[in-house]
Chain A
Amino acid sequence: MTVTFADWITELANWVFLLIAIPTVVAAFFVVTAKNVVRAVLSLVITLAGTAALFLMLGAEFVGWTVVLVYIGAVVILFLMGIMITQSPLTSSTELSQPMSMRTPAILLSVVLFGVIAWAVIVSFGAEGIPLPDEATRTASIGEAMFTNWVIPFEVVSFVLLAALIGGITLARRDPVEEGEA
């Protein structure tokens, strides 16, 4: 099933896609270039909300709302806490990015990487269409898949989270003995 550009642009779903995708990319660009730390982290919210909206569009409801809960609800707050604790300058600062001479190779590398991926994808898939899902993936079916096919990875992830929890506490707390000496 191939799609011509005329077909593509007349499909309403693609306008919704563009409406979501353009702010997502612009906000992602702002995350990596903004001169203000808080604004950079807050535009990460827009990027992640955009991806969550795309997941809803693709019918992946559970993944979409998990992104909203975990990323926008918890990870971004963690970033803001990190900014406050490390006393990063809250006003605009040029100290957040490398100077222009160091940025040029990074720009080149990113553009080349995007070009290579875009070329490979267009050559492999062309204008192959995907049908708009007529109903969302049931959360129950994801749960079934997770506890049948993916049960061992699931347990491994839970173990990794436990290790991260213990590791985070161990790293972040002060050693009580050291504190007594100081």
Chain B
Amino acid sequence: MTIVQFVLLGAALFSIGLYGVLTRKNAILVLASVEVMLAAVNVNLVAFDVYLGDTSSAGQVMALFIIALAAAEVGIGIAIVLMIFRNRRTADVDDLDVMRY
């Protein structure tokens, strides 16, 4: 195994997630694309943790922190989407243009 194969996989997942964030209109699917990007970051962290043979497992601990924070982010994100849906009857990010101009 090489370190490059894991980092390239992470880069591919991150780029795909970025594409999703830029092109999705449904707010829930934008959040799902952010999850793909966070998964890419976790792959990199764990791969480098194994590559460097870190005795304090810094990469794995950071990956666990990211998982916990991503769960919090999704909870708050979906609560905000629900709030917007309740007030404006839409989950489409293109319709949220009140603060534009």
Contact = CB atoms under 8 A, between A and B. Distances in A.
B44 to A, nearest CB: 10
Interface residues of B, number: 69
Given A3-B2, A114-B11, A60 B50 contact: yes
B43 to A, nearest CB: 6
Contact of B16 (A29, A96, A131, A149): A29
Contacts of A88: 26, 28, 91
Interface in B53-101: 56-58, 60-61, 63-65, 67-76, 78-83, 85-86, 91-92, 94
Q: Is the interface of B mostly helix, strand, loop or mixed?
A: helix
A31 B38 CA distance: 14
Contacts of A160: 68-69, 72
A29 B12 CA distance: 10
B81 A63 contact: no
A157 B23 contact: no
Given A44-B36, A54-B6, A95 B43 contact: no
B61 A25 contact: no
Interface in A100-153: 102-103, 105-107, 109-111, 113-114, 117-118, 121-122, 125-133, 137, 141-142, 145-146, 149-150, 153
A98 B51 CA distance: 40
A56 to B, nearest CB: 10
A66 interface: yes
A78 B68 contact: no
